[in-house]
Amino acid sequence: MDTACAILAGGRSLRMGRDKATADFQGRPLIRTVYDTVREVFDDILIISSIHGSLDGIEAPVIDDIIPVQTPMVGIATALLHANKARVFVVACDMPFLTRDAVACLLNAPGDAEITIPMIGPHFQPLHAVYGRSCLPHFLRLIGLDRLKVSGVFPYVTMNVVKDDPSFFNARGDLVFLNVNTVEELKGAHSNGPA
């Protein structure tokens, strides 16, 4: 497979009030739920984080962000810089409903666009998307300009937008891109659990 996986785990977790990656989810760190799903698909996995030296139960290298700015764009650029593959599936560490089917939907999408990204309604899902290494110069230029929204790179690259695919919902109807930002959201996801 020409695609690696990068789990972004270095966010500030301001609304959660604590590190989301290591927050308890059904008896284990939240990031383990994501990791255990992606390791069923990928041989090459990176964890992108400047706040973790290692993570219990995760046998993947932890890579520091290329600059000390905790934003998804910097995390994606770091992943593209360090991955040994031409493409990187990027996912956030706080998506407890992640599924193999949704990942496979993107990996198997036709064409050779620089970004393959899901869209639900009018909303892109940049933290559950595939990025080609050719995106890296654009990310670095925008970071240098302090333009740190991932969507800022979209006008400069080719994109394959996968819209409203059934795989974007798990068997119970939960959106697989749901991320938990607060203690209340984590409790709600905890009570539902992965389908």
CA distance 118 to 126: 8
Query: What value does the mean pLDDT take over residues 108-114?
Result: 94
- Grade residue 14 by pLDDT with cuts at 50, 70 and 90: very low
Q: How many domains does the chain have?
A: 1
CA distance 43 to 95: 20
- Grade residue 185 by pLDDT with cuts at 50, 70 and 90: low
Residue 1 confidence (pLDDT) above 60: yes
Token reading at 24 = 């308890």
Q: Work out the mean pLDDT of the chain and round it to a whole number.
A: 89
| The pLDDT value given to residue 142 | 97
Question: Does residue 188 or residue 22 have the better pLDDT?
Answer: 22
CA distance 187 to 184: 5
| The pLDDT value given to residue 175 | 92
CA distance 187 to 192: 9
pLDDT in tens, 126-184: 999 999 999 999 999 999 999 999 999 999 999 999 999 999 998 888 899 988 866 66
- CATH code of 90's domain: 3.90.550.10
Contact between 166 and 2 (Cβ < 8 Å): no
> Whole-model pTM?
0.91
Evaluate the CA torsion angle 80, 106, 47, 16 in order and state its sign.
positive
| Residue-number span of the structural domain to which 33 is assigned | 3-192
CA distance 15 to 161: 30
- Grade residue 192 by pLDDT with cuts at 50, 70 and 90: low
Query: What value does the mean pLDDT take over residues 38-54?
Result: 91
| The pLDDT value given to residue 174 | 87
Evaluate the CA torsion angle 160, 165, 170, 175 in order and state its sign.
positive
- Grade residue 62 by pLDDT with cuts at 50, 70 and 90: very high
Secondary structure string (H, E, C) spanning the chain: CCEEEEEECCCCCCCCCCCCCCCEECCEEHHHHHHHHHCCCCCCEEEECCCCCCCCCCCCCEECCCCCCCCHHHHHHHHHHHCCCCEEEEEECCCCCCCHHHHHHHHCCCCCCCEEEEEECCEECCCEEEEEHHHHHHHHHHHHCCCCCHHHHHHHCCEEEEECCHHHECCCCCECCCCCCCHHHHHHHHHHCCC
| The pLDDT value given to residue 5 | 98
